[in-house]
């Protein structure tokens, strides 16, 4: 639990959580948005990579599966921006917003792993916190996505 790779992973997680919120709640398309956004993306990539050097439950686990989902989400969010695909802004917003929501859902799993001793309580605590985070995130994402399509 307290290894060098664990601390490095934690550092990337903290930076990602902060920069993800900063990007989410500031004006889009500005130089500031782009700079902080790239810090978010780099830290998320490093966060996902370092997750594979951490062993949970004696090998590949559900946490590793969701690290892959997170990695795909980040790549899917950046591809439209870099290639300027059709409807790139909506695609970028959608995937990057879900990336931040997913990061906070993963945060609840990490908290549960560290602080909930009983496995039965762990899964319920994580499930409820994750569901609420995803539900609130979906509401915010859908509300903002409607604004993007009107522009």
Q: Taking the domains of the chain in order of start, what are their residue ranges? A: 4-150
Instruction: Give residue-wise pLDDT tens across range 40-81.
Output: 999 999 999 998 888 766 777 777 888 999 999 999 999 999
pTM tops 0.85, yes or no = yes
Please give the pLDDT value at position 63: 79
Q: Is the pLDDT of residue 151 over 60?
A: no
Smallest CA-to-CA distance from 96 within 52, 151, 31, 140 is with 140
Q: Is the separation of the CB atoms in 132 and 108 below 8 Å?
A: no
The upper half-sphere exposure of residue 111, i.e. CA atoms within 13 Å in the direction of its Cβ, equals 13
**Residue percentage of the chain with pLDDT more than 70:** 91
Across 92-113, b (16+ Cβ under 10 Å) vs e yields: bbbbbbbbbbbbbbbbbbeebe
| Angstrom distance (rounded) from CA 97 to CA 25 | 11
Q: How far apart are CA 89 and CA 29, in angstroms?
A: 10
Q: Which long-range contacts (CB under 8 A, 24 or more apart) does 58-62 make?
A: none
- For residue 3 the two structure tokens come to 């290894």
Q: Has residue 144 got a pLDDT over 90?
A: no
């Amino acid at each position: 639990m307290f290894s060098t790779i664990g601390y490095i992973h934690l550092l990337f997680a903290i930076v990602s959580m902060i920069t993800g919120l900063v990007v989410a709640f500031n004006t889009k398309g500005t130089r500031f948005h782009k700079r902080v956004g790239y810090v978010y993306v780099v830290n998320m990539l490093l966060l996902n990579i370092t997750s594979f050097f951490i062993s949970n439950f004696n090998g590949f686990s559900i946490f590793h599966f969701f690290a892959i989902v997170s990695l795909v989400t980040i790549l899917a969010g950046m591809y439209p921006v870099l290639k300027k695909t059709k409807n790139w802004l909506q695609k970028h917003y959608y995937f990057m917003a879900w990336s931040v929501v997913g990061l906070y859902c993963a945060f609840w799993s990490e908290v549960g792993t560290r602080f909930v001793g009983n496995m039965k309580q762990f899964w319920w605590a994580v499930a409820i916190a994750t569901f609420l985070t995803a539900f609130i995130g979906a509401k915010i994402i859908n509300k903002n996505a409607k604004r993007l399509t009107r522009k």
